[in-house]
Amino acid sequence: MVSFFGKASAPSGTGDSSAAAVAAAPGWRERLKAGLGRASGALGEALGSVVHGRRAIDAGVYDDLEAALLAADVGIAATQDLLEELRRSVARDALTDVDALRGALRKALLARLQVLEQPLDTSAQRPFIIMVAGVNGSGKTTSIGKLARWFQTHGQKPLLAAGDTFRAAAREQLRIWGERNGIDVIAQDSGDPAAVVFDAVNAGRARGADVVIADTAGRLPTQLHLMDELAKVKRVIAKADASGPHEVLLVLDAHIGQNSLAQIAAFDRAIGVTGLVVTKLDGTAKAGVLVALACGARPIPVRFIGVGEGLDDLQPFSAQEFVEALLP
C-alpha cells in the first residue's frame, strides 16, 4: 500500500520549551508514531492510489480526504473547516499536486492544534493542587501515577490523595505505587472523598510538597448525584486552600472519539475543567478528535497524552510532534 502522504519527513524542532524537549526525545517520538499508526493509516489508506506521493488535485482527492479525516474522527465541522482552508490554499498558492496538498494539510492541522499546546505550569502556587476526574475505565488512576512520576523526574515533590473511596483497588494501586517510588499517599479505607482530599492538601502543605494530585472516583456524566459530589470535592479543596484547586484535569480515553466532546462539556459544567489528559492513543484510529476539540467553541488545553502502559509513556502534548506522527 502506498500512502497518500509519501515518506516521512524529518521532524522539525518545537522550540526551547521543556515540554517540547521532552516530547522530542527519540524514544517518545517513535512510540507516538506507533501509537497513532491506525489514525495515520486511515488517512493514507483512503488515498492509497497515489504513486510516489504525486497526483493531480481533483474533486476525487477532496472526497477521499474528507472520508479519511472522518475515519480519523476529526468530525464533520472540523473536517469541513479543513477542506475549505485547503481549497483556499490550492487557489491562492497555485498548488497542483497532492504532495503540495499534504504540506498544506499539515500546516492547517498544526495551526489548529497549537491552541491546545499549553504546558502545565505549577510554579505559581506551592503546593500546586491538581484535581483529577474522569469516567470509569478512562485510565484516571494509572494516569495519576504517571503524572506523579513525571513531576518527580522533573525535580518536584508530589503527594497523592486517594480520593476514590468507592474502589478499594484504586486506593491500593496508589498506595503500592507511592511506596515503590517514595511518594506520600494520603488514603482512608472508607469515608468521604472530600475529607480525604482536604487532609491531603493540609498534609502537602505540612510536608513541603510541590504538587498535590487528588484522585476522585470514576463516574458517568449522567450520574447527577455523583457529579454533585465531584463539585463538593472541589469546594472542599477551596476550603483547605482558598486559591485551589489550581488545575482541574479531566482524563479522557481516546478510544471513544467524538463522544469525548460530550464528556468534556458535562464535566466542565460541573467542575470547570482547565486541562485534559488524553490516554490510550496507542492503537486507536480516533486520534483526530483532538482536531475537533481545537476547533470547538472552548478548546481546553491538552496537558498530557499517553501512548502506552509504561511510566514514561505519559508526556506533555506537543502539536508539532502530534501532527508529524499523525501525518508521517
**pLDDT digit string (tens) for 67-125?**
888 888 888 999 999 999 999 999 999 888 877 888 899 899 999 999 999 999 999 99
Cell 495519576 belongs to 144
- Band the pLDDT of 325: cuts 50, 70, 90: confident
**Greatest mean pLDDT among 39-43, 313-317, 323-327:** 313-317
The CB density around residue 220, as the number of other CB atoms within 10 Å, is: 12
d(CA 160, CA 162): 6
Q: How far is CA 82 from CA 109, 259, 307, in A?
A: 8, 21, 26
Least trusted range by pLDDT, from 79-88, 202-211, 251-260: 251-260
pLDDT mean across residues, the chain:
82
What pLDDT does residue 38 have?
Answer: 61
Q: What does the pLDDT read at residue 42?
A: 56
> Residues 154-188: pLDDT tens digits?
999 999 999 887 777 778 888 888 888 899 999 88
Q: Considering only residues 307 and 301, tell me which one the structure prediction assigns the higher pLDDT.
A: 301
Q: What is the pLDDT of residues 105-118, one digit of tens each?
A: 989 999 999 999 99
Under the banding of pLDDT at 50, 70 and 90, the label for residue 326 is confident
Cell numbers standing for residue 145: 501515577
Residue 112, SS3 per DSSP: helix
Mean pLDDT, rounded, for 11-18: 39
